[in-house]
Each structure stands twice: as C-alpha cells, then as structure tokens.
Structure 1
Amino acid sequence: MRDLSTLPKAHLHLHFTGSLRPQTLEELARSVGARLPGALQDHDPLRLPATARGWFRFQRLYDAARACVRSEADMRRIVAEAALDDAAEGSRRLEIQVDPTSYAPFVGGITPALEIVLDEARAASARTGVEVAVVVASSRMRHPFEARTLARLAARYAGEGPGEVVGFGLSNDERRGDTVEFAPAFAIARRAGLAAVPHGGELLGPTHVHDVVAHLHPDRLGHGVRASEDPRLLGQLVDRGTAFEVCPGSNVSLGVYSDEHEVPLRTLVDAGATVALSADDPLLFGSRLVDQYRTAREVLGFSDTELAELARGSVRASRASESTRARVLAEVDAWLAAPENATPEKT
C-alpha cells in the first residue's frame, strides 16, 4: 500500500495546546513544578462519554496542560514541534488554532501572545517546508465581547501566507453560550477576509448546526459530523461549499461514536462534501494526522484513490494561496500515480 505519511495533505483542525508532544508537556511541567494528572502521564488515549461530565474532565485535563505553558520559549516550542510533526506526516499546510488570551498573562497581553505564535509560524515554515498559518479562536465559555476583541486582533494580521492569520473560530463546549451572540465577532472577521471556522455538530446534532450556519456562516465546520443525521441539512451544506474538518479519533475519544466504524465519513463523502481529516488534540486523544487517514483506509474501507481525494479536499479547504494549492494538488496526483508498493507503510 502507498505510504500515508508521504501523501501530501493539509491539516486544518489542530489546537495549540492539544498539539503538544507528551514528552514536551512533561518537561514543561517539571520546569514549573506542576504535577500533571495521571491521564496526562500515561500516554493512553483519552476515552470519555459525550456528556457534560465527560466534557468537564476533558476540559480539566486540557487546562492542566495549558497551565504548563508560561513563556515565549514554551509557545515557540509548541509551534516549532507541531510543524516538525506535521512535516513527518506529509502535511504541506498547517492552520493551527490558538486562543491568545490563554497565554497573554505570561507574555504581556493578547497582542504579544499572538505575535509570538505568528513569528514562530514564519520561522517554522522556513525550517520545515510546511506552511504554518494561524486561526484565532474565541471560546464559548467567555463573554461574546471578548470574541469581538479577538476578531479585531485577528483582522490586524489577516493574510494567507505563513505566519499570518487566515481564520477565526469558536471553540469549547457546544452546549455553552448562545451562538447568535457571537455573530458580531464573525462579521468583523469576515470583513477582514478571514475564514469562518467555528466548531459545530460534534457534541450537538443538526439543530445546533442549523444555528451555527444561520448566524456564523461558516466556510468550514469544526467537526460537523452530526450534520450527517439530517440529509437535507447535509445537502444544503454541500451546496454552500462548507467544508468539514473531520477528526475521527476525537469523535471516538469524546464518546460521540462508540468506535471508528460509526464515524460518518463515508456519508459525508458520498453526499459530495469537502472533507479535511484532522487530529484535533493529539496530546489527549493519542492519534495524529496520519492516524485519521489510516482509520479511513483500514476501518472505513477507503481506497488510495479516495484517500487522495480526501487529501485534495483538505488542500482546497485551506486558505493557502492558489500557487500553493496547485503545487500540493500536483503532488497528490504524483503520490497516487506511483506504484502501490513504492513507499511501504512506515511502522
């Protein structure tokens, strides 16, 4: 079989703290004298029910990891290692998602926090060959006014190249906050030319996706898999050109589906959706980008031709320049044209 780690692709749904290598987190924790919860030390994938209590435990662990990131050097290391890890998995484009308010207290504010990430994204792009761009994300757990502040900040650094802000997102528990109250923030981002990339349709079903679409007008949906439960809604999203950032490992780890066989990737693809497979939070879920393609191949029965089309979808859904898209799409064609056993699967 063709080596999935050499399949050129884009990675569009990766959270900043969630991208941490487990070993890096342990080193950061030691440096600040923090005691990590056992679930962050045993390196086993997190498995939780899709309940409020399950999400609470996930968020508590995520917050414990984030609390270990306390300096500019820590932030730069996260970006640099995320780019290196993506490069090893065939990623040509990474759009990493960050909420700068989480790190602002340690570096002098939200503007310096974002500028550190952007500066290291440019440096990492030059070192690795992976174009690293940034999505600024607000949290449903915070006041919508904060989302507007972040949208204005994101707009100041809008662009499409490495080290620029390409999108504006809304993350955290879908069951919290009123979606319509975040619409003004997304309007600010949209006027700046940023992609709208809110989470939606993972913990909650089609009704919530309707709300997200009506009020936030997403270019891409973070997850979006629950739209598969409403064929009419799914058809509307396909017609709108809304892409889906699908993270099978995350879906199973958070109990949305009991196992990988239930992830409706085939339903989305058969409906004509553009899909970008992504890892979400490898630190907690124990699976990275190539693992999502491996699930598509080994569990869901996708052929190499279909996997190549998934990779193309990730590139088309990215905010990369037209020249970058054309180059990477040509590389995908070359991967598919190579003999099946030319690049054996790495172990």
Structure 2
Amino acid sequence: MSARRTVASGGTIGMLGGGQLGRMTAMAAARLGYRTHVFTPEADSPCAQVSAAQTVAGYDDRDALARFAQACDVVTLEWENIPVDTVAFLAGLVPVHPGAGVLAVTQDRALEKGFVNRQGVATAPWRPAGSAAEAVAAASELGLPAILKTARLGYDGKGQVRLAPGDDVAAAWSALGGVDCVLEGFVDFACEVSVVVARGQDGALAAYPAVENRHRDGILARTLAPASLDPALLAEAEAVARRLVEALDLVGVLAVEMFVTRGGRVLVNELAPRPHNSGHWTIDACATSQFEQLVRAVCGLPLGAPEAHSDAVMDNLIGLEAERWPELAASPGACLHLYGKAQARPGRKMGHVTRLFPKGQAGR
C-alpha cells in the first residue's frame, strides 16, 4: 500500500463516465468542496449537468485525455467498462483509482469468477465458453437449466440467455454474437443480496449493511436495507466483500452481488468496482453515502461511518415510471432523485425514490 496522497478541498476530481453514478458522486464531492471534471463521449450527460467542467471526447483520444489529466488532481470512474488502455494511459499522468488492474479483472466474467474462486470464495458452478463447442461441452458437464452470459459488457439482463433442457446450446452461443462467454450452472437461491464496501488509500475499510435486491426483467427494481437474513449470513456476506476488496487492492468502492441459496450458502455473482444501484439508499439513510465514500477514498480522506440511521426501501424509476415524479415529489417522506436524462426508454433508469423507516420497522 502506497502512502496516502490527500487532495485538498478545492481540488478537482476527474470522472470517467457521465452517467447517474458520476452525477451523484459529483454532488457528494461538491459537499466537500471539490470540483468535478467529467470525461465522456456523451454530450449533456447527467454528470456534466452538475460538474464544474466537461470534456466530450472518445476514450481513445489521447490528446483529450492528456488535457483532462492535466486539469485533475485525481481521477476515478463511474463505469467499470472504461477501456483498460485509457486508465493505464491516465495513470501515467495523474493518480487513478481504481486502477487498470482492477478493471482488467472485473470487465471479464471468466477472469472475475476465477479471481473470486482463487480467494477461496464460492460462486455458482461455471465454465468458460469461448466457442460453440466449449459451450456445448460446458452444458454437458454442468447440466441444464443454466445461464449463458457474454464474458464482457453484459448488464441489466443484457448479454445473457437462459437455457432449459433440450435447448440448442450452440445456437444460443451464436445468438449472443459468437463471443467469449461463460456458462453458469443453475442456483436455487432464496434471495439476492449485495454489500458495498469502501477502501481508502491507507487500506482502511468501511462496509455498508448487506441489502436484499429484487429484480424485474433483469433490472434492479427494489432494494431493502438491511436484508432480513440470519445475522450469521449477513456477517458472511460482509466478510466476503471485505476479503475481495483487499485482494483486489482496490481504492474506492466495491459492490459485491451475491446469491443466498435455500441451503444457506453465500455465492458471489458479480463485482462492480464503483458505486452501485443497490447502494443508492445510503444517500438518505446514512451519514456517509457510498458516493461520499468514493470521494473520500480517492482523495485520501478518512472514510466516513457507514452505519445506517434508518431502514430504507429504494425503488428504481425505470422508463416511463419517472413520469410519476409530481406524485412522488408530493408524497411525504419520499426522497426523490431524478437523473436529468432527457428521454425515457424502456429499461432506462431515470431516477429512484427512497423511503425511510425507523430501525427494524421498514414496510416490506
């Protein structure tokens, strides 16, 4: 662990990616007196709307990246699929957290699952499927039902297909684009949970309580904080997140998505080295949100307290659901967050709303 490098208030944080996670990080940064400079190929991005500066350019534009680095004291990201070469180039000019090594692991499902397993942490059974023949062999070994997923770029239910007994595995692999995939064996899980953990430059850790996530059409619809599970399972989920963030040597925040099986096992599903949708509730229910923790970590400040002062239920506003904003804005106790996106599309996250409850009394 290298020495802590502190960015003083008034400094500039570079943000790779212009989405809502960057937007909420920029708003948290402003509370601590920092400016945000966003780098994104997208004009009028949600993050740019609340940032002090923006660079609109491709992630392969080295001249633009160099100018961006010169304007920033530290760089972070809100999307784990920023090209590794981009992050490596910037790291030669300005501190970047998390680094290219972290992204190289978390951008590829096969590398990620192999990494998790090497830490002694369980996942669903899986096999690489880099060809139609490998996919067929993996299905023969693991059995069906199973899920075939692209190794890279899939999210919110995209880039994957469920396979039932009798399905044509080779055709499914081709339908996903004929790219590297992984096949995951069927898991009979009781619920899905996630833990967001922050890690500072000095190695200090701060983990938020495990939460339960409920999905609709492959997209997170609701998060219940905290998860209503046996305390031993909650402690195990948090311990897994702590182990993985340390093994990655990550500075920033890491979200660890996990399955809890009906038999009481905790299995890691995915890692996200950035703020996570399931952590949005921390803005309203914790003294230090996941977004402020990211700012604190990358700027070399002490991490804040992750404890919740209230239970919370967070609902995503997806597509046209955001048109309910007048009703939600008038609803007592509803904490409404809209992302400034101009156009609602099916499956697009337009905002979220969080409702707080006294500890132990969340309405579920």
What TM-score results when the alignment is normalised by the length of structure 2? 0.26
Compare CA radii of gyration and give the structure with the larger one.
2
- The structure with the greater share of residues assigned to helix is 1
Q: Which has the higher contact order (CA 8 A, sep 6+)?
A: 1
Greater strand content? 2
* TM-score normalised by structure 1 residue count: 0.27
